[in-house]
Amino acid sequence: MTTSHLISIAGIAMSLLAGSGHHEGSANARAEEPQRPDASGNYATVNGLRMYYETRGEGEPLVLLHGAFGLAMDLPALAKNRRVIAVELQGHGHTADIDRPLSVEQMADDTAALLNELKIERADFFGYSMGGVVALGVAIRHPSLVRKLAINGSYFGSVEAAFEPEAFKQFRNLPADFAPPMLKAPYDKVAPDPTKWPTLVAKIKKAGMEFKGLKCAPEFGHENGGAFSTCTHARAECLSRH
């Protein structure tokens, strides 16, 4: 594979990925000082997963969800008047992978379970790329938890429908040895077992290829559930009522 192809694929991954606020320089700083003075890192056991999350600030809760290959989002400005909960999803960052597939639905359920563990009845959500898809999943699967929702660089249907044909082709052909330093270096600094990187790559690729879109719950006016694109207005109406 040529360098240009690797750079192109890395760019696609960046469109799926971190939005974590941890560029290579800040990742190195994080390694030297694993816990920032104004952020508290903790673990909670949810659905068999030992999930890592960071909290900072006080006020109404705001959940931050990173993209694929990302770490807990480091956006301190949001904590000036909010209680920010920055999550690391299955297999990402400090959260070790476990023996189960990676899926949007499962990550949404894990996030909901974390909020239950933290005794948070309702929160606002911001998700970047894959994290935005997970946030949409929380809104659909656990609507009572979501007050307001904002996403960036995300999608609600299949990856094939969301990407340009050439970009989808490159994601579909993502190589097993995919490891651009901008993604791999921060992971290596904090992962419980950095040798699991190839497993994460394989699971993200598989999850992306198998994801066909989020489903609406029946109580939102679609008797048998439906593709998220068919119930966007119903969900938006639900969230506006909250």
pLDDT in tens, 131-172: 999 999 999 999 999 999 999 989 888 899 988 999 999 999
pLDDT in tens, 71-91: 999 888 999 999 999 999 999
**CB 144 within 8 Å of CB 112:** no
Beta strands in 75-233 (DSSP E): 82-88, 123-128, 146-152
Total structural domains in the chain? Answer: 1
Q: What is the mean pLDDT of residues 199-205?
A: 97
Q: What CATH number does the domain containing 73 carry?
A: 3.40.50.1820
Please give the model's pTM, rounded to 2 decimal places.
Answer: 0.79
pLDDT in tens, 113-135: 999 999 999 999 999 999 999 99
Q: Output the pLDDT for position 214.
A: 84
Look at 225 and 143; give whichever has higher pLDDT: 143
* Residue 104 vs residues 77, 112, 157: alpha-carbon distances, Å: 28, 12, 11
Q: Output the pLDDT for position 38.
A: 58
- The answer, yes or no, to whether residue 10 has pLDDT greater than 50, is no
Range of the domain at 30: 3-241
